Amino acid sequence: MKPAKKLYVKTYGCQMNVYDSGKMVDLLAPLGYATVDTPGDADMVILNTCHIREKAEEKVFSDLGRIKDAKKDGAIIAVAGCVAQAEGDAIIQRAPFVDIVLGPQTYHRLPEMVARAERARQEKLGKRFRLVDTDFPVEAKFDFLPEATGPQGASAYVSIQEGCDRFCTFCVVPYTRGAEYSRPAKAIIEEAKNLADKGVKEIYLLGQNVNAYHGEGLSGQSEWRLAKLIEQLAQDLPQIERIRYITSHPKDMTQDLIDAHRDIPALMPYLHLPVQSGSNKTLDQMNRQHTREFYFNIIDKLRAARSDLALSSDFIVGFPGETEQDFQDTMDLVAQVRYAQAYSFKYSIRPGTPAGAYEDQIPESVKEERLARLQALIVQLQFEFNQSKVGQTVSALFERTGKKPGQLIGKTPFLQSVYVEANQEVMGTIQSVHVTDGFANSLAGVIV
Ligand code: SAH
Ligand code: SF4
Ligand code: F3S
């Protein structure tokens, strides 16, 4: 057998990129590539990049510099993902040792590009071979993606929707991922079944705006919404004990989906529903297309449908024009919703987005100070939420080992990490855990 060629993949950004990286690995397996953990001795390096904030982008270029120094002679370097889409040729100008630049909608063509790059290496072309492919091709890339072949963990991602038509004024995603596209239900159910057959117990349905899902239904039925898709998955695949979806937009939180949280036991009682700001003025300037009252109303309906639902959100502080009062409105919203978890970011100017050109940008020091206050509140609420589970028995899906010997880490339905002492046999299984302690970021418990 030919020795395997070594492939190093580094993934930045969101779950969609994690999913895409997995698909790229599956696509390159037939060419003889197997993954390794370090770039130093790799025959090929892929950086699957994120463009969402300036820091994410800068990280890619600093990592590229490091890889240039560490890489093996002749290794093929590819930059994929959202920075690739946004920057295209400019990446090669900044980092001339990069061979391949490919956007998120073209990675099904990666094997062909790699084969061409390998040939160019063999023929020792005087000029270095370079390929840039950042089209949004008409053909749906999903039709060209292989089934997952390698071993799967207990939890897996399935991309069901990609792209976004909402154009929030701060966000690059509509430009890097393109227009919204929903995969047909049939393809999604087949992919989920393949994962279930490999022992997967939990799936995350992924989309940039996942609750806007409107794919073709089974046997030529008209478009299905997300609630119907989840219902079908739960019915066809009882082995999948846990279903989650991410990321949702409040405007697409329709009643059928809210009802699904009441009616479908496999649908986990945890929802990431980003609101970004608690100020109506800021929400308007962000083009979020709803008010804080609208958001509160959705939360009330969700909690009426499923009283133990845990909520999480994303927040941006220091959006252009944000006053102390606007920020206080955000703090107030957070305190009212009592999130189980939340992510918060300083506003970052992104090239080509409307808000980047807004006047009254907020000074960095103000952003930092507001972020610190918001995060202190979030940490407090997170701690209180974790504390509220102490003394209860919850289910946990075990996926990782802890740092201490004999320690395993499970995930509760509410996406909390719970530490227990147990032997390896429980890995990949769902167990009942009695929660004995709650901390800021995790729980401790014993399997019952
Ligand atoms: N589709 C998701 C968000 C995807 S981006 C949604 O609609 O909520 C993930 C998060 O990054 C966003 O929720 C937002 O909080 C943050 N983000 C996006 N653009 C940003 C920017 N320019 N500066 C700071 N944070 C940003
Ligand atoms: Fe970005 Fe807004 Fe689309 Fe989310 S809904 S991906 S924040 S444009
Ligand atoms: Fe980043 Fe692209 Fe995801 S910009 S957050 S990797 S969609």
DSSP calls for 264-300: -TTB-SEEE---B-S-HHHHHHTT--S-HHHHHHHHH
Distance 171 CA to ligand 1 centre (A): 6
Q: Is the dihedral of CA 32, 12, 88, 76 positive or negative?
A: negative
Task: Identify whether residues 63 and 86 lie together within a single domain.
Answer: yes
How far is the centre of ligand 2, averaged over its atoms, from the C-alpha of 249 (Å)?
Answer: 8
Chosen domain end from 133, 160, 176 = 133
Which CATH number covers residue 410?
Answer: 2.40.50.140
In a domain, 139, yes or no: no
Pocket test for ligand 3, best of 52, 79, 107, 206 (most atoms within 8 A of CB): 52
- Using DSSP's 3-state secondary structure scheme, residue 25 falls into helix
State whether 169 and 107 are in the same domain.
Answer: no
The pLDDT, as a whole number, for residue 126 is 45
pLDDT of residue 74: 87
Residue entry with tokens 């919204």: 180
pLDDT for the residue 125: 57
318 lies in the same domain as 427: no
Overall number of domains in the chain: 3
- The reply to whether ligand 1 has any atom less than 6 angstroms from the CB of 274 is yes
Q: What is the pLDDT of residues 113-135, one digit of tens each?
A: 999 888 888 776 545 667 888 88
Check whether residue 158 and residue 101 sit in a common domain. Answer: no
pLDDT computed for residue 121 by the predictor: 80
How many whole angstroms separate alpha carbon 313 and alpha carbon 247? 10
* Contact 170 CB / ligand 1 (< 6 Å): yes
144 within a domain of the structure (yes/no): no
What is this structure's pTM? Answer: 0.95
Q: What pLDDT score does 148 carry? A: 75
**Interval between CA 133 and ligand 1 midpoint (Å):** 25
* Per-residue model confidence as pLDDT tens digits over 50-104: 999 999 999 999 999 999 988 888 899 999 999 999 999 899 999 999 999 999 9
Of 83, 88, 78, which Cα lies nearest the Cα of 109?
Answer: 78
Which residue among 350, 365, 387 closes a domain?
A: 387
pLDDT of residue 99: 92
Ligand 1 atom closest to Cα of residue 274: 8
Structural domain contains residue 219:
yes
CA gap 68, 96 in Å, rounded = 10
Ligand 1: does its nearest atom lie under 6 Å from the Cβ of 242? no
Ligand 2 site-directed mutation target among 17, 85, 173, most atoms within 8 Å of CB = 173
User: Residue 242: left (phi > 0), alpha (psi -120 to 50), or beta?
Assistant: beta
pLDDT at 339: 98
- Give residue 446's pLDDT: 97
What is the three-class DSSP state of 135?
coil
**Would you say the CB of residue 345 lies under 6 angstroms from ligand 1?**
yes
User: 435 and 361 in one domain?
Assistant: no
Residues 186 and 84 in one domain: no
Q: What is the pLDDT of residue 234?
A: 98
Say what the pLDDT of residue 222 is: 86
Atom of ligand 2 nearest to the CA of 172: 1
- Pair 234, 359 in one domain: yes
Of 355, 387, 419, the one marking the end of a domain is 387
- In the prediction, which pLDDT does 130 show? 77
**Is 147 part of a structural domain of the chain?**
no
Q: Is residue 62 part of a domain?
A: yes
Rounded Cα distance, 15 and 52, in Å: 13
* Domain that residue 294 falls in: 152-387
Residue 401 near residue 407, CB atoms below 8 Å: yes
- 169 with 285, same domain: the answer is yes
Residues 318, 404 within the same domain: no
Strands (E), 82-211: 100-102, 131-133, 155-159, 161-162, 181-182, 202-206
Q: Give me ligand 3 centre to Cα 13, in Å.
A: 5
Kindly state if the Cβ of 11 falls inside 6 Å of ligand 1.
no
Counting as low any pLDDT under 50, the low residues of the chain are 126
- Determine which residue's CA is closest to atom 1 belonging to ligand 3: 50
What is the rounded distance in angstroms from the CA atom of residue 418 to the CA atom of residue 408? 8
Q: What is the pLDDT of residue 127?
A: 52
Domain membership flag for residue 22: yes
